[in-house]
Amino acid sequence: MDPKLAAAKAALKYVESGYVVGVGSGSTALVFLNELAEAIKGGLISNVRLVATSTETEYEIVRLGLGELLRYPWQVNGITVAVDGADEVDEGKNLVKGGGGALTREKIIDYWADEFIVIVDESKLVDKVPSRHPIPIEVVPYAWPMVKAKLEKEYGGSAELRYSSSKRGPVVTDNCNYVIDYRPSLRIEPSEGERIIKGIPGVVEVGLFNGLKVSRVIVGKSDGSVYEFK
Ligand code: 5RP
């Protein structure tokens, strides 16, 4: 079984009828959404409401025929459980997210959830976050040169404006902002990095997610088995 599917199926066990479900973004989260859609259509789960973490996920919810269950964040009083993917996870459950540029709404919904479940395949596991992936940072468009300069002065390395491969010019997020991908040369501790980078004027959100906000990580393996850590 595909490791993403194995993790998605395991996450579905934490979703019950009546829940408000935060639905993550990216390929792994969309595998989970497909499983959830099947469970709803099959009558195994009922009376749920779905809060999407991106436009992509909103479209998928509608495409799967679940549009009536879709709610904006202001239409619910809370999120019972959020299920989302990640670009990197370490043993402290710290994450790098934002490979798909959806980090701001993801963090709002995921941090708001009573239970935040991360689903990944083994390729996402690293010793220490941030590691292989750059840190995505959503910025107000006209502020990007200043944020880039500040990051490079503070932590060294390089901060690059993310360009689109399918449109000319920079990637524009769901919130009409830009994304900087930052590779520091100095070691950044995730929770301190989250706090400091978020504090730079012009930064909307940073794709470092604090492990203390994550309830559990479900890892799908290539043999179809899964394991969890909390
Ligand atoms: C999007 C994200 C995704 O969760 C992350 O990029 C993982 O995606 P995938 O499951 O496709 O590897 O943070 O902004």
Pocket test for ligand 1, best of 25, 105, 107, 218 (most atoms within 8 A of CB): 25
Residues 107 and 7 in one domain: yes
Q: Is the peptide bond before 130 cis (omega within 30 degrees of 0)?
A: yes
pLDDT digits (tens, 9 = 90+) for 62-92: 999 999 999 999 999 999 999 999 999 999 9
Please indicate, yes or no, whether residues 113 and 50 belong to a single structural domain of this protein.
Answer: yes
Model confidence band, residue 226 (pLDDT cutoffs 50, 70, 90): very high
Distance CA 54, CA 132 (A): 24
Whether 39 has a pLDDT exceeding 90, the answer reads yes
CATH of the domain at 114: 3.40.50.1360
Give catalytic status of residue 106 as yes or no.
yes
Three-state secondary structure call for residue 8: helix
Domain co-membership, 69 together with 153 = no
218 and 193 in one domain?
A: no
Task: Ligand 1, residue 4: give the atom nearest the CA.
Answer: 10
- 114, pLDDT greater than 90: yes
Ligand 1 centroid distance, CA of 212 (Å): 19
Q: What is the Å distance from ligand 1's center to 187 Cα? A: 23
Give the H or E element holding residue 60: helix 55-63
Provide the residue range defining the domain that includes 88.
3-127+211-229
Domains held by the chain: number = 2
Residues 7 and 98 in one domain: yes
pTM of the model: 0.97
Tell me the DSSP string of 82-122: EEE--SEE-TT--EE--TTS-HHHHHHHHHHSSEEEEEEEG
What's the gap in Å between 149 CA and the centre of ligand 1?
27
pLDDT-derived band at 1 (thresholds 50, 70, 90) equals confident
pLDDT score of 121 = 98
Q: What lines the ligand 1 site, CB under 6 Å? A: 24-29, 84-87, 97-103, 106
138-156, pLDDT tens digit by residue? 999 999 999 999 999 989 9
Confidence (pLDDT) at 12:
98
Question: Both 156 and 219 in a single domain?
Answer: no
